[in-house]
């Protein structure tokens, strides 16, 4: 019995490794961009997404429907982004921000993103509205999927999306 | 203000994040994270298990009351005669039956008597240590030498009371087994053969009337009969001793409060008597000037392991003899 259990465990591990590789090659970039839209600090987006991949890999044996691995991954990214925002809020309250190191190549790209007007406008939205807008219009998720990821009702998603869209329209009017 | 179209917003968002390129070693970092997690999983689980075990142990220690906080009250020592040595088995080799007849002359100081000869012990009587005064007579109880508890002194390690068959006890039933027990005398010694286990208990009194006059009556209603024994008959007054069953095969003489005697009869202008009431013993003492009209004082006494104790206040009355019913008789059972 223990031998069979060990074999089953190794099968799950191999399956998880293969799935992780496939998910990485297909969705890593889009998930990093999704995280960039959700986070205040774009430099942390890769960290969040990598942590999400590690967590989904660890929980691979417990996933009820492995075909929905991308949905789990997206939800983990959203949850981790929320946690990161909360931690950053606390850190900002209690610690001075350190001086930035020398800029890397990625940070150069990040600075481009930081300067985008839509990003600036997005960051001024409340967190829920920002999540609804990003999930609906960037991740191209249905209202039901967005509600599942956000952990709220479809009606709430509709309301958040509508309010977020109106707010962004006002902020971006001058650019159009 | 024109509303932002969803398609336009999608385009703007995509263009905004388009410059983002994943780092080259992202996959390697994910793999390193997975390996790190695997590496730490076993120690983390082990540490977590140890912490949980420690917390459970601490909770158990905290919840369990400390033994030092438990108050253990010592059991009250039962009333035992001044020189008790324990019961004897019927038919077993009886020891020197007269060895325990000496009373009040022991040298040991009451607590624990030392066995002598056939196992009888003669510790000195210590009436001052009793909460109630001792009986007017200082009887001696002796029993067979074979009892292992005979080496212990009175009041210590007395055998427990068995469960009575009925409350109050039936006729002649002293040991509470529902059957009558055999009472006999040998000189100044009362012998009771218990029907429960055929053990013979011996209680030595100062004297015993011949022929033996005794009665078994359950005064306190505990299911074990008390044995009333007539000890003397002189000058119209009969004296009695009351024996109490306090443990398995163990009888002791009941001590009376100071000033009370267990007697009945009329002698010139004084008279006394007693009767068994409802769970108590009522002792009546009468005085007269003409030998007919008696002023009677009746006191109720309650029987416990410590002896007889006065309860309530005495009642007084007048009795004219011989026209009224005389209270100066032994009114507990029928002496035979």
**Distant-in-sequence, close-in-space partners of A6: CB < 8 Å, separation ≥ 6:** none
Q: Which residues of B55-75 are buried (b: 16+ CB within 10 A; e: fewer)?
A: eeeeeeeeeeeeeeeeeeeee
Q: Is pLDDT above 50 for B133?
A: no
What is the rounded average pLDDT of the residues A70-98? 79
Fold of the CATH domain A116-176: Arc Repressor Mutant, subunit A (1.10.10)
Nearest 10 degrees: Cα torsion A11, A12, A16, A18: 20
Q: Which residues face B232 on adjacent strands?
A: B239
Ranking A19-23, B100-104, B247-251 by mean pLDDT, the lowest is: B100-104
Q: Does B16 touch chain A (CB under 8 A)?
A: yes
What is the rounded average pLDDT of the residues A119-134? 89
Q: Is pLDDT above 60 for B122?
A: no
Q: Does B287 touch chain A (CB under 8 A)?
A: no
Q: Which residues of A138-165 are buried (b: 16+ CB within 10 A; e: fewer)?
A: bbebebebbbbbbebeeebbeebbebbb
Read off the pLDDT band of A144 (50, 70, 90). Answer: very high
In this structure, CATH architecture of domain A1-106: Orthogonal Bundle (1.10)
What is the rounded average pLDDT of the residues B116-122? 41
- Rounded to the nearest angstrom, the minimum Cα separation between B51 and chain A is 23
Dist CA B85 CA B322 (whole Å): 46
Read off the pLDDT band of B37 (50, 70, 90). Answer: confident
pLDDT of residue B146: 40
Q: What is the mean pLDDT of chain A?
A: 81
C-beta separation of B262 from B239 below 8 A: yes
For chain B, strand residue ranges (E) read 88-89, 115-116, 120-121, 140-142, 182-186, 189-193, 199-204, 214-217, 226-234, 237-247, 250-253, 263-267, 270-276, 281-288, 293-304, 307-320, 330-331
DSSP letters for B272-310: EEEEE-SSSEEEEEEEESSSSEEEEEEEEEEEETTEEEE
Read off the pLDDT band of B71 (50, 70, 90). Answer: low
Q: Alpha carbon of B296 to those of B177, B270, B271, B328: distances in Å? A: 38, 10, 9, 9
B12 closest CB neighbour out of A50, A118, A166: A118
* Closest-CA residue to B312 (of B273, B283, B336): B283
Q: Is pLDDT above 80 for B109?
A: no
Secondary structure of A55-99 in HEC code, one letter for each residue: HHHHCHHHCCCHHHHHHHHHHHHHHHHHHHHHHHHHHHHHCCCCC
C-beta separation of A93 from A49 below 8 A: no
- Rounded to the nearest angstrom, the minimum Cα separation between B47 and chain A is 19
pLDDT of residue B157: 54
Sign for the CA dihedral angle at A23, A24, A29, A31 comes to positive
pLDDT of residue A93: 67
Q: Which residues face B274 on adjacent strands?
A: B283, B330
CA gyration radius, chain B: 40
Contacts of A19-24 spanning 24+ positions with Cβ under 8 A: A19/A57, A19/A60, A19/A66, A19/A69, A20/A53, A20/A56, A20/A57, A20/A60, A20/B30, A20/B34, A21/B27, A23/A53, A23/A56, A23/A69, A23/A70, A23/A73, A24/A53, A24/B26, A24/B27, A24/B30
User: Which of B135 and A115 is assigned the larger pLDDT?
Assistant: A115
- Rounded to the nearest angstrom, the minimum Cα separation between A167 and chain B is 9
Dist CA A46 CA A35 (whole Å): 8
Q: Do A118 and B16 touch (CB under 8 A)?
A: yes
For B57-198, strand residue ranges (E) read 88-89, 115-116, 120-121, 140-142, 182-186, 189-193
What is the rounded average pLDDT of the residues B8-13? 86
Q: Is pLDDT above 50 for B124?
A: no
What is the rounded average pLDDT of the residues B160-178? 84
Read off the pLDDT band of A76 (50, 70, 90). Answer: very high
| Structure tokens given for B20 | 């983002």
C-beta separation of B81 from B151 below 8 A: no
Which uninterrupted H or E stretch holds A30? Answer: helix A2-38
Largest CA distance in chain B: 136
pLDDT of residue B58: 93
Q: Which residues face B217 on adjacent strands?
A: B226
Read off the pLDDT band of B123 (50, 70, 90). Answer: very low
Q: Are strands B281-288 and B214-217 parallel, antiparallel or unpaired?
A: unpaired
Q: Does A138 touch chain B (CB under 8 A)?
A: yes
This prediction's pTM: 0.42
Dist CA A58 CA B105 (whole Å): 91
Q: What is the mean pLDDT of chain B?
A: 75
Read off the pLDDT band of B126 (50, 70, 90). Answer: very low
Q: Is pLDDT above 50 for A135?
A: yes
Q: Do A116 and B16 touch (CB under 8 A)?
A: yes
Q: Does B15 touch chain A (CB under 8 A)?
A: yes
DSSP code at position B241: E
Question: What residue spans define the domains of chain A?
Answer: 1-106, 116-176
Q: What is the pLDDT of residues B205-220, one digit of tens each?
A: 888 888 888 999 888 8
Cβ contacts (< 8 Å) between A143 and chain B: which residues? none
User: Which of B304 and A163 is assigned the larger pLDDT?
Assistant: A163
pLDDT of residue B335: 81
Q: Do B4 and A33 touch (CB under 8 A)?
A: no
Q: Does B313 touch chain A (CB under 8 A)?
A: no
CA-based nearest residue in chain A for residue B33: A54
């Amino acid at each position: 019995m223990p031998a069979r259990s060990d074999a089953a465990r190794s099968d799950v591990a191999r399956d998880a490794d293969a799935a992780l590789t496939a998910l990485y090659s297909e969705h890593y970039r889009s998930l990093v961009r999704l995280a960039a839209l959700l986070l205040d600090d774009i430099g942390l987006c890769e960290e969040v997404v990598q942590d999400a991949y590690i967590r989904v890999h660890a929980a691979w044996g417990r996933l009820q429907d492995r075909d929905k691995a991308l949905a789990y991954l997206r939800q983990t990214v959203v949850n981790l982004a929320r946690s990161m925002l909360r931690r950053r809020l606390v850190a900002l309250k209690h610690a001075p921000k350190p001086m930035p190191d020398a800029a890397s190549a990625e940070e150069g790209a990040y600075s481009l993103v930081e300067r985008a007007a839509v990003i600036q406008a997005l960051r001024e939205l409340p967190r829920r509205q920002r999540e609804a807008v990003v999930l609906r219009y960037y991740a191209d998720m249905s209202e039901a999927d967005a509600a599942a990821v956000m952990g709220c009702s479809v009606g709430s998603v509709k309301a958040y999306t509508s309010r977020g869209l109106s707010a962004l329209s006002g902020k971006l009017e001058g650019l159009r | 203000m024109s509303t932002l179209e969803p398609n336009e917003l999608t385009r703007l968002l995509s263009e905004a994040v388009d410059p983002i390129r994943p780092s080259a070693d992202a996959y390697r970092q994910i793999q390193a994270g997975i390996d790190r997690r695997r590496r730490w999983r076993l120690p983390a689980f082990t540490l977590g298990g140890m912490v949980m075990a420690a917390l459970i142990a601490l909770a158990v220690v905290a919840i369990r009351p400390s033994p030092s906080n438990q108050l253990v009250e010592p059991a009250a020592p039962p009333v035992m005669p001044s020189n008790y040595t324990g019961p004897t088995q019927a038919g077993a080799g009886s020891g020197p039956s007269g060895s325990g007849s000496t009373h009040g002359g022991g040298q040991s100081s009451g607590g624990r008597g030392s066995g002598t000869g056939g196992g009888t012990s003669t510790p000195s009587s210590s009436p001052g240590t009793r909460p109630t005064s001792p009986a007017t007579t200082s009887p001696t109880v002796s029993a067979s030498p074979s009892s292992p508890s005979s080496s212990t002194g009175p009041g210590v390690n007395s055998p427990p009371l068995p469960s009575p068959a009925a409350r109050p006890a039936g006729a002649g039933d002293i040991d509470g087994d529902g059957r009558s027990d055999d009472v006999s005398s040998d000189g100044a010694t009362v012998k009771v053969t218990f029907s429960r286990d055929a053990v013979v208990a011996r209680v030595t009194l100062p004297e015993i009337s011949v022929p033996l006059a005794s009665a078994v009556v359950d005064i306190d209603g505990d299911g074990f009969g008390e044995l009333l024994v007539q000890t003397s008959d002189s000058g119209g007054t009969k004296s009695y001793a009351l024996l109490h069953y306090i443990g398995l095969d163990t009888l002791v003489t009941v001590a009376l409060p100071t000033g009370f005697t267990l007697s009945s009869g009329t002698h010139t202008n004084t008279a006394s008597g007693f009767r068994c009431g409802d769970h108590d013993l009522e002792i009546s003492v009468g005085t007269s000037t003409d030998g007919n009209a008696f002023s009677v004082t009746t006191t109720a006494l309650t029987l416990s392991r410590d002896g007889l104790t006065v309860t309530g206040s005495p009642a007084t009355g007048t009795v004219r003899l011989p026209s009224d019913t005389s209270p100066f008789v032994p009114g507990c059972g029928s002496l035979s």
